[in-house]
């Protein structure tokens, strides 16, 4: 198919999807209903606090699954890199001279020192700060300080330890365990079409920040339901969305949450043909286990990566605020700043502040179980996915 025809076809198809989602959201709005799971689901609080279980689950759900660690637009040019530590593994992701993105363990092959400080940057080579061994952006050991006095070693055997890495739909996926590979297309399945529809490679980054938050599951649970939006976010993101109205679609472990905007009220009596199919709903895409992509206001998007900390009680969240295009006017700049400060307030001062109180209660005997309601089906799915992965790993062991 000709490219422009294909694009047109995609747009029409996407409009059909958005129209259908708007129709489903509007039906709930009219009836005061929401998508529901079959029944409420209890989950034992040890799932949130048992340190041994935490390590086993991190191993299965983070160290042996592909994680979206960066956006393609963070590393557009050859030599652009991002270094970070993810569940104890220091990683460096770098775009090579051939345009391919590769990932390595950020550790020197001489005696293991970190070769690159955490952060995003640009470099032609990475020189270890300890004894100045230098590596190319393709991970090859290319020079050693005082090589003659050191003696001969085989450079081909001493490249940086490579991790499986793939780029799809504007996201860079990495597998943290050396030697393991992943069939990313099988893992994402048809969810790839959803990710592609976001066109992440064409946005611009407005701002990036890191937030300390409560434990892994406490933090993520909050991204997976809209039950709390009226009560907790009444002054921030809840102003725009209808609390407790969820349309849910799943692709294996990955989920798309559709929230209704308050403007649904304006189209109750409007014929479908007149709808602006992008105006009255808000989509949140969750790629298991820790990526949430949320288009909150037209032209702005929030990407959140939630990284489990060293204990079950902490996480670090990387928030990347995107804009459809870099702000050109004062007004556009102001709109970006308003968006950025609103999501900061909603997540840090509302979601994670409440999350902190949940962490405190986990240290008491107040609850033996938490309960997820029928109106929290995406949270239920998330916990079922963890349980299923743990069962499968047990079956293989």
Give the interface with ligand FES as residue ranges (CB under 6 A): 108, 110-111, 113, 128, 130-131, 133
Q: State the Cα–Cα distance between residues 232 and 305, nearest whole angstrom.
A: 21
Residue pointed to by tokens 């798309």: 256
- By beta-carbon proximity to ligand FES, the closer residue of 32 and 151 is 151
Could you tell me if 327 and 69 are in contact, meaning their C-beta atoms sit under 8 angstroms apart?
A: no
- By beta-carbon proximity to ligand FES, the closer residue of 178 and 189 is 178
- By beta-carbon proximity to ligand FES, the closer residue of 108 and 245 is 108
C-alpha 168, offset from chain centre: 14
Report in angstroms how near the CB of residue 307 gets to ligand FES at its nearest. 26
Shortest-Cβ-distance residue relative to Fe ion: 351
Q: What is the DSSP string of 222-286?
A: TTS-STTHHHHSTTTGGGTEEEEEEEEEEETTEEEEEEEEGGGGGGTTS-GGG--TTTSEEEEEE
Partner that binds at residue 251, options Fe ion, ligand FES, none, CB closer than 5 to 8 Å by kind: none
Report in angstroms how near the CB of residue 131 gets to ligand FES at its nearest. 3
Partner that binds at residue 111, options Fe ion, ligand FES, none, CB closer than 5 to 8 Å by kind: ligand FES
- By beta-carbon proximity to ligand FES, the closer residue of 76 and 178 is 178
Could you tell me if 281 and 18 are in contact, meaning their C-beta atoms sit under 8 angstroms apart?
A: yes
Partner that binds at residue 163, options ligand FES, Fe ion, none, CB closer than 5 to 8 Å by kind: none
Q: State the Cα–Cα distance between residues 49 and 187, nearest whole angstrom.
A: 28
- Please classify residue 273 by burial: count the beta carbons closer than 10 Å to its beta carbon, then call 0-12 exposed, 13-18 middle and 19+ buried: exposed
Both tokens assigned to 263: 């403007």
Report in angstroms how near the CB of residue 113 gets to ligand FES at its nearest. 4
Partner that binds at residue 351, options ligand FES, Fe ion, none, CB closer than 5 to 8 Å by kind: Fe ion
Task: Indicate the DSSP class of residue 159.
Answer: S
Judged by DSSP in three states, 311 sits in coil
Report in angstroms how near the CB of residue 255 gets to ligand FES at its nearest. 42
Partner that binds at residue 133, options Fe ion, ligand FES, none, CB closer than 5 to 8 Å by kind: ligand FES
- By beta-carbon proximity to Fe ion, the closer residue of 351 and 376 is 351
Task: Indicate the DSSP class of residue 74.
Answer: G
Could you tell me if 93 and 100 are in contact, meaning their C-beta atoms sit under 8 angstroms apart?
A: no
Report in angstroms how near the CB of residue 206 gets to ligand FES at its nearest. 36
67-71 β-sheet, strand order: 67-71, 171-174, 165-168
- By beta-carbon proximity to ligand FES, the closer residue of 132 and 326 is 132
Residues forming the site for Fe ion (CB under 5 A):
222, 351
Closest CA to 140 of 155, 123, 121: 155
Report in angstroms how near the CB of residue 136 gets to ligand FES at its nearest. 15
Report in angstroms how near the CB of residue 342 gets to Fe ion at its nearest. 12
Q: Going by DSSP bridges, is the β-strand pair 204-213/315-323 parallel, antiparallel, or unpaired?
A: antiparallel
Partner that binds at residue 249, options ligand FES, Fe ion, none, CB closer than 5 to 8 Å by kind: none
Phi-psi region of 99 (alpha: psi -120 to 50; beta: other; left: phi over 0): left
Q: Going by DSSP bridges, is the β-strand pair 369-372/41-44 parallel, antiparallel, or unpaired?
A: antiparallel
Report in angstroms how near the CB of residue 134 gets to ligand FES at its nearest. 9
Partner that binds at residue 131, options ligand FES, Fe ion, none, CB closer than 5 to 8 Å by kind: ligand FES
- By beta-carbon proximity to ligand FES, the closer residue of 131 and 155 is 131
Both tokens assigned to 204: 């611009």
- By beta-carbon proximity to Fe ion, the closer residue of 304 and 385 is 304
- By beta-carbon proximity to Fe ion, the closer residue of 116 and 245 is 245
Could you tell me if 203 and 197 are in contact, meaning their C-beta atoms sit under 8 angstroms apart?
A: no
- By beta-carbon proximity to ligand FES, the closer residue of 128 and 237 is 128
Report in angstroms how near the CB of residue 63 gets to ligand FES at its nearest. 24
Report in angstroms how near the CB of residue 149 gets to ligand FES at its nearest. 14
Partner that binds at residue 113, options ligand FES, Fe ion, none, CB closer than 5 to 8 Å by kind: ligand FES
């Amino acid at each position: 198919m000709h490219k422009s025809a294909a694009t047109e076809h995609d747009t029409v198809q996407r409009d059909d999807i958005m129209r259908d989602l708007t129709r489903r959201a509007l039906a709930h709005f009219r009836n005061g209903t929401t998508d529901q799971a079959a029944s409420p689901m209890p989950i034992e609080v040890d799932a949130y606090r048992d340190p041994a279980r935490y390590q086993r689950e991190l191993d299965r759900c983070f160290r042996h699954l592909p994680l979206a660690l960066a956006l393609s637009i963070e590393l557009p040019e050859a030599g652009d890199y991002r270094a970070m530590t993810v569940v104890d593994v220091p990683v460096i992701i770098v775009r090579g001279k051939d345009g391919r993105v590769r990932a390595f363990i950020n550790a020197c092959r001489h005696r293991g020192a970190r070769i690159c400080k955490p952060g995003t940057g640009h470099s032609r080579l990475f020189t270890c700060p300890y004894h100045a061994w230098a590596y190319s952006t393709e991970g090859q050991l290319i020079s050693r300080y005082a090589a003659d006095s050191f003696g001969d070693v085989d450079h081909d055997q001493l490249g940086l330890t490579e991790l499986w890495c793939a780029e799809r739909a504007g996201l860079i996926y990495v597998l943290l365990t050396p030697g393991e590979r992943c069939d990313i297309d099988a893992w994402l399945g048809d969810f790839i079409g959803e990710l592609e529809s976001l066109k992440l490679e064409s946005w611009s980054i407005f701002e990036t920040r890191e937030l300390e938050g409560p434990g892994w599951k406490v933090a993520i649970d909050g991204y997976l339901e809209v039950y709390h939006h009226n009560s907790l976010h009444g002054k921030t993101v809840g102003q725009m969305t209808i609390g407790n109205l969820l349309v849910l679609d799943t692709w294996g472990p990955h989920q798309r949450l559709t929230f209704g905007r308050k403007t649904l009220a304006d189209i109750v009596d409007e014929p479908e043909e007149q709808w602006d199919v992008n105006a009255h709903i808000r989509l949140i895409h969750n790629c298991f286990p820790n990526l949430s992509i949320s288009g909150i206001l037209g032209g702005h998007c929030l990407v959140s990566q939630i990284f489990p900390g060293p204990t079950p009680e902490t996480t670090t969240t990387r928030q990347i605020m995107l804009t459809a295009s870099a702000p050109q006017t004062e007004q556009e700049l102001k709109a970006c700043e308003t968006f950025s400060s609103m999501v900061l307030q909603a997540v840090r001062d509302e979601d994670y502040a409440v999350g902190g109180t949940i962490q405190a209660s986990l240290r008491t005997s107040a609850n033996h179980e938490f309960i997820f309601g029928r109106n929290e089906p995406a949270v239920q799915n998330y916990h079922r996915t963890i349980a299923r992965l743990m069962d499968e790993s047990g079956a293989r062991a």
